[in-house]
Chains A and B, each alone.
Chain A
């Protein structure tokens, strides 16, 4: 994707090119990745080995480090689970391998932005997704998990009212048989008395987890299978592509329902199952792209220069298929978000999870008098899915100059 080319050939600083190819001088992104991943790994190991099932990781860590006091004042009582570690890891990957290169190559970034900017819906989508991302990452730090409180069930949103016959107690003003909404619960509460806004903020984190972790898994498998298949050819190609066919034909949702039936539902299981059956399209796409790249003469040149097979694939084929990968993944994510919401809605998701789908599901039986429980998360989900679709379309245009661009015609 981002090629490190200076404006003109004679401005190439060969000193820097030579020094950056050394083994000791790892690229900045690799260094940063190591610096951030190692503590994360250490924390994970610590969590596995030293922290008991019922103890909170950071409370225990505070005790062990003798820093209970400062930790308490900071409010550090976080208890990360397995998924959280993978989620943080993916965010680091995203930051250092997507955002950092864009920052390091301002010229290409400007070019991409210029192309991208033409598509106005996509810019709006990007802003919306950035907002969802920020809320998902830092929202839960400021807003506590919504606790059920049966006395506060079905409180209406601000400026809305509900018939007092349907609720236990009215937090706001009650007059003439109707209950007014209050700013205490700007978007109302659910039937179990959970605040809808807080629920949605925590749901955003779940959404981000699904989006990032599935993307990581799909990208890993899709890129490996696609490029290996294209570059190896022969029976390896044939076997891998037949496998891809099966994965593509596999009815994931139905299969997942069966697994849920036997083992019970959890977010981790959802992510793993859906991601391991979603790479088919990506692999096929990347294979066809990689096949055309492998025909290029610079690949031959690289090979003649003595580059290993791994290096050719890693340094030349994968970067050249990056635009297809990114577009394909952007268009895959909404499917996962939808699947999670659908499963929750059917009552087959993890009922303890604070996801948008669960919120929609919780408002099902009270649709007639408390529609806000479904409407708020439903529209947010719709906008997010729409944004991913618009963004995917725009990326297709911006990253792939050969593709017919709708905005340009």
Chain B
């Protein structure tokens, strides 16, 4: 009996052949993206652009108060002014300008936090996977333990002890998710480790560090990129939750979370003060989540269980 004649077998799609490097790059090409992903990636670029060039984009100084113009509604509502597109807050500061700076602060903090967590997690994951044995068991035990502690609590302890300096926040936010990288990277390293080219490099006298940098890391870049993208929203939300509670980025610096927190007291008469930054947060997390899900499908990696 041939497989083609068996209806149950023929319906199962054949496993895709291992995709060579150039095919991967082609799958990520802009013109091959579905339309929704095209829009999302353009918007993501726009947000990065906003964060980078905030000082040149804002119509007003984000911290300049104007008591006479406080709690002005957005331009399209009755009583709104074209000069303040999103309206003004309780101190008469221009909300659009503050949102633009808020994107800069929040996205910047989240990105640096992401890098910190990724560096720690990847290093431990590579060490764990390459060395194996007791080192591996110890690191994996640490990962297990960290997963079961609510990360917000650890961050709270850190803030109470070391204050809300930007560097402290970046490190604490980064620490919150390091274990996810360690787990994924270790799994990937265990697979890559058995490849002939690693054995060849070792036979030629390559050290652990050399093998890790030159051969292992480039081969696990795909899953790492997916994980970074998928972790970004949760890091951003962690930072904005802290700032919302008033224990993250300190005033007068505008962070999207602290802006929502400020607006909470004016919900009844001036809902836009809280809603404008809240919409920006939702937009960013939504866009990045969509991109992450798409990347995961295209690169065909399993990062969550």
A and B: bona fide binding partners: no
Q: List residues of A whose CB falls within 8 A of some B CB.
A: none
